[in-house]
Each structure stands twice: as C-alpha cells, then as structure tokens.
A = this chain, B = another copy of it.
Amino acid sequence: MLIVMKSGATEEEISRVADAIRELGFRPHIMPGATRTAIGLTGNQGALDPVQFENLPGVAEAIRVSKPYKLVTLDLRPEKTVVKVGETSIGGDEFAIIAGPCAVESRESTFAIAEAVRRSGAKFFRGGACKPRTSPYAFQGLGDEGWKILSEVRENFGLKIVAEALDESSLDQAEQHVDVIQIGARNMQNFSLLRRAGRSKLPILLKRGMAAMLDEWLLAAEYIMAEGNYAVVLCERGVRTFAQHTRNTLDLASIPAVRHISHLPVIVDPSHGTGKNYMVTPLACAGAAAGADGLIVEVHNDPPRALSDGAQALTFAEYQQLVDEVTAIRQVVSARQSRVAHPR
C-alpha cells in the first residue's frame, strides 16, 4: 500500500497517517518529495482496504501496489534519490568516482594510492579490509589492521571511505571506520546481512549478484529500505554468462532498466565487470554514457604485485586518463539525465 499525501499536507497530517499505520500493526515509510510526500506501508500479509486511509485528512489517494517491491519505486518517490555522504553525495549532479585498491595491503601502498585518488579529484576511496575469497586458503584481507588504515586514509586525505562488510560482525566494524558500507555480489541475497544493513545509519552500496535478475536486485534493496535505511546505491558489476573474454559480462542495460523503475542511484564497476585492465577505461566510459551516477574502480601503485585482482587494476596514469574521459562523457549525457526526470 502506498499513501500519497496532498501537495499542501501538513507535518501533523503526515504524522497522523503514520500513527494510523502503526496502530494497525504495520510500518510506515515516509518519503518526502519535491511536490508531495508519499508514505509506504509494509508489514501487511494480505490486501488492505484503501478507504480507511483515504478518509484521513491530507491524504490524496491510497494505492494498492501489486509489484513485489514498493519502497524502491518511482511510484513512491518520483525524484531521484541523492545519497548524502557527508558534504558530498552519490546520485546528484556530480559523477561519483570511488577508486582504490582491491584489498588494503599495507599503510604505505594504501597511502600512495590514496594520494593519487585525491589528486584526480575523486571524493571516494575504496579498499577491502576483509575480502570474500573463493578459496579458504587465499589472502583474506588484513582485518583489524586494514580497518585502521582505512580510518587513517579518511583523516589524512579527506576522502570518504567505501569498504565491504562480509557479515554482521564485519559490518559492526565497518560502521566504526568507513562512510559507505558495501554489500558484495555474493551476499546480495544474504537476507540477514541485508536486514542488518537496513538498521545501519550509513549508506549502503549494494552490488548486483552474479546471477541476479533485475527484480531480485531491487528486492535486495527493498530488504534494506524496509528496515528504515533509505540510503542505498546500486552497483552493476557484471553477471555470469557463457562469455569467456571477460571475468563477468557487464550488463550496462541494467542502468536504464533501474532508472525506469527506481529512484535509487546506480553506479558501475568496470574492474570486476571485465577483469582485464585494458577494458576498464572503455567500459567505465560506456557506463557513464549509459547514464550511471558514478563508478567504482581499482587502482594500484604496482598492479603486477597486487595481492588480489592485480590483472584488473589500473596504474595511476591509466586511472587519470579514465577520470578525464569519464568526466568529459558525463558532460555530454548530463543534459539527457535532467531531461528524463521521470522516464515513464
């Protein structure tokens, strides 16, 4: 159920609707918009009668939502969500660049990379303190030491930190040290972790699963939002197909597809999406051209010696080239972006 308030509805009227929802044992999700406020209702098992809400003062209409997702939709919020991260943001006018190593390997290399990232004008730094690895015997990240180094990058370079949480306990840790918490592709349907992320105060970067349908990805975001955390950024990182010239097949059509349904920002990961460094810049540019709100990319001071995913990391020079090209392409498409406020 979706309750749309009249454009002049007062704070009091909005609160009254929220109270009415709670009294019925359900949960209200208040989404203020540019011209009107919408209130999502979750927790009901069956259909509800809209009339009981439409009679409340300030309510324009109550709409039954037949889709499996509610909070992620443009029905609930026709304007794009801008996810604030301190003084910067993802989903607004500026193209968000998140760059850094796959894994935090040492203070020295991490600081060297952070320096290059700051110099490029990017606002976000990525780096893993704990890494999901296919083999139990592979390098699993520095752990505590890694979290500490990330905190230091934040202090010393003024960059916002994006790092992955693998489970509830690493999410607790991430909350102490970083600005945006990443949920990885392998955990996209780890529903307990999604619910925990929904109870965090930090924005969540939700990667698409390797075999995720569009609906499943949006419903994973819905899991987070249903717990009250509306600051979700989606990330296309490629899906698994028969093709073997890349590590994954980057499905850039998912960007306009998400835009068509949802108000959430969506970014692209050309590093995992291709797995080959010579493809990263072309595909990063392609992502920007397709309308992504930003990108997350792996840079390393010495790619051949990286402890994980070296084959896809950019050198500093390649990275700077990427930033220049992507920035120019963003300017071309930003006109389109503003034109399609509500594509339907």
Contact = CB atoms under 8 A, between A and B. Distances in A.
Interface stretch (A79-87, A113-121, A328-336): A328-336
Nearest to A280: B256
A48 interface: no
Given A68-B135, A332-B325, A289 B285 contact: yes
Contact of A219 (B135, B167, B213, B289): B135
A190 B213 CA distance: 19
Interface string A281-306: 11101111111000000000000000
A222 B169 CA distance: 22
B186 A166 contact: no
A193 B167 CA distance: 9
Contact of A243 (B133, B138, B239, B282): B239
Nearest to A65: B137
A166 B191 contact: yes
Interface string A257-284: 1001000000000000110001101110
A249 B216 CA distance: 17
Say how many copies of this protein the assembly contains: 4
Interface string A49-65: 00000000000000000
A211 B188 CA distance: 13
B252 A252 contact: yes
A139 B166 CA distance: 26
Contacts of A166: 191-192
A256 B278 contact: yes
Contact of A289 (B186, B250, B256, B286): B286
A234 to B, nearest CB: 13
Nearest to A285: B289
B186 A189 contact: yes
A144 interface: no
A321 B211 CA distance: 33
A246 interface: yes
Interface in A132-186: 132-139, 166-169, 186
Interface string A330-344: 001100100000010
Nearest to A335: B325
B274 A282 contact: no
A134 B216 contact: yes
Given A133-B191, A134-B219, 6 more contacts: A167-B168, A186-B189, A210-B210, A214-B245, A239-B241, A249-B253
Interface of A: 42-45, 68-69, 132-139, 166-169, 186-187, 189-193, 209-211, 213-216, 219, 222-223, 226, 239-246, 249-257, 260, 273-274, 278-279, 281-283, 285-291, 321, 325, 328-329, 332-333, 336, 343
9 contacts: A68-B137, A132-B191, A186-B189, A210-B210, A211-B239, A241-B241, A241-B249, A252-B283, A278-B343
